[in-house]
Structure formats: structure tokens, C-alpha cells
Amino acid sequence: MIAVIGSRSMRAQELSPLGSDLASDIQALKPGQFIWTPEIAPSGPVLAVISLAVQRCYVYRNGVLIGVTTVSTGRPGRETPTGVFTVLQKQVRHKSNLYDSAPMPYMERLTWSGVAMHAGNLPGYPTSHGCIHMPMTFAKLLYGMTTRGMTVVITDLDEVPRLAPTPDLLQGEAATKAEDAGGAIWEPQKAVSGPVSLILSGADKRLVVLRNGVLIGSTPVSVSGPVVETTAYSLSKVDEQGFHWMQLPLPGQSWAGSRELPLTERARVKMPDAFRSALDEILTPGATLVVTADSLLASGTGKSVTVIEAGP
């Protein structure tokens, strides 16, 4: 059965992406209410998408919508930043380091500057200092299925976020090392375990690799044809046919069923053979790939709304 905190309930099979009834039920959720149907996708990589405009968090597993909750995000002057984040730290019982040791149950940190998802007050409008408040039960359920390194997308209105990571991701020491190594770096020892995230910039013609939120690799790539929008994928399985990347719906993107990245699309991207071999060795189901037309350079042009933090 589907779990809705409040007076509403519906059958689990009615929870399917893009259904008109589902859209109405999501819109009708009152503060503190949520929908939770993990049985629809029992396993696979998890992605959370938070909409500041409608104060909702959407949770996908293996590309399938399994939960939606009301949230309360940053109030005026303390707005929650938009962008693509990774979960940097998790703690069941946590107290704020910034706001009088305020309790933050089931805390999942998104930035080292104080933004996190956790259980909190839900008055029906943005009221936090920048964190994403969720119902206690939902925060506990989400906490139980997530891992450090999980991707979290925070967006305003229906815009798909653009990428502008922390300044040192492709500059400074990282850029110098890349130049010295002929354009590529590979330092897996910096993070020996944890979820792997890949970010490919069409503007920079570069792929960066993060493990547990730490930059461990970067390489120039050639891309045949234009990159016109931001897309996200999760690696669903690896078999004799190779790597199977399933596209994950971001705000403003929708389709029925599953959508796998075809081999023709993968073939558009070329990188050094040695780098690809090393990367293939660490890729396991649950890895996330984000493809963007935007620059990863902090000095790049365009609207900078995404923050990727690799460490304190």
C-alpha cells in the first residue's frame, strides 16, 4: 500500500511517473504529508529532486518515482541554493553547528557551509535557514535507503539546473596536474571507496570523476555533435553487453517507462583509452552521470546555480 500521512490514500499501482491522477495527488498534499511506495522499484540507484517552487521533494529509484513529500526550504534572505549536489555526510542525530545546536534528525549534508536535508518544521512555506525540512517519518525512510555520494538536484521553477562547481574543480592545482599529465589526471587513492559520480561538460569537452564527493579523475573528451541540455543517468547494470545507463527524469523532462542511453549516444564521446579502462574498473551499478552543455570552470559564462562541494 502507498503511505500518505494524512487522510488521503491510494493504491501503489496508481503511483506512476507522469500520471494525471498522481499529479493531482502530489499537488493536494498538505504540509507534513507524503507519498511513499518503495516496492515499485525495490532496488537501484536513488536520486532526489527538490523543487523550491512547489516545495516538494521527489525521490527516484532506478529511474522510477517512488516517493514525494512536502518540504520547507530556505526563507527569503536564506534561500536554499539550486543545483546538483552529492550527499557528503549522514548522521541520525545531529545538532546544528550554526544555529544554537538546533536538532537536525536524519541529517544528510549537501554542503559544508550548512545546507542539508533533515526532519524539521513544515508550516507550508519556506522557513528554514537554507536546509530542506522534511516530515520526520519521510526523512527516516529516505535516510535508510541513501548513501554518501547520492545525487540531489535542487531546482527553482521547472528549470533544469546548470553546473558551476567549486572553483578548484578544473582550476588551480587540479588544472596544473592535468596539464602536466597531458590533459588527464587519475588519482583514485584520494577516495578509495564510495559512490562514483561523473560530470561531462560539452562546453569544456571534459569529463570529471568524483568518488564519495572527492575529485579523483579528469580527462579531455571529444564529443560528436552538440550537447543541448542537462541530462542525468544512473548505471543500472554491467553485463556482457557492457554498461547500461538509465536516464533519470529531471524537472522539465518526462517520459513513460524506462529510457536507456543507447550505444550510439555513448559512441559520441571519445576519451583516452587508458583513462576509459581505469574508469571502467571502478564503475558499479549506482554510479551517476550528469551531462551538461555548461562550463565547469568557475569563470565560465552562463547562469551559475549549481554547487558541487568536494570537501571542507
CATH of residue 267: 2.40.440
pLDDT of residue 74: 93
Q: Which three cell numbers stand for residue 243?
A: 554498461
Same domain? For 150 and 197 the reply is no
Are residues 230 and 163 in contact, defined by beta-carbon separation less than 8 angstroms?
Answer: yes
Q: Which three cell numbers stand for residue 221?
A: 573528451
Same domain? For 176 and 284 the reply is yes
Domain membership flag for residue 115: yes
DSSP 5: S
Domain that includes residue 127, residue range: 3-155
Phi-psi region of 213 (alpha: psi -120 to 50; beta: other; left: phi over 0): left
pLDDT digits (tens, 9 = 90+) for 75-117: 999 899 887 788 888 999 876 665 655 788 999 998 887 899 9
Mean pLDDT of the chain: 76
* Closest alpha carbon to 32 in 139, 152, 129: 139
pLDDT digits (tens, 9 = 90+) for 192-245: 887 788 888 888 888 988 887 678 898 999 989 888 777 888 888 889 888 999
What percentage of the chain carries pLDDT values higher than 90?
Answer: 23
Same domain? For 116 and 53 the reply is yes
| Boundary of a domain, candidates 91, 124, 155 | 155
Domain membership flag for residue 298: no
Number of domains present in the structure of the chain? 2
Name the amino acid, one letter, at 194: G
d(CA 295, CA 202): 7
Decide: pTM greater than 0.75.
no
Q: State the catalytic residues.
A: 118, 131
Residue 233 host element (H or E): strand 231-239
Same domain? For 232 and 138 the reply is no
Helix then strand count (H, E) for the chain reads 5, 20
Task: Please say if the pLDDT value at position 178 is more than 90.
Answer: no
Q: Which distant-in-sequence residues (6+ apart) come within 8 Å of 188 by Cβ?
A: 211, 216, 217, 278, 282
Task: Please say if the pLDDT value at position 31 is more than 80.
Answer: yes
Same domain? For 123 and 211 the reply is no
pLDDT of residue 69: 92
Same domain? For 121 and 187 the reply is no
Same domain? For 193 and 122 the reply is no
d(CA 289, CA 296): 14
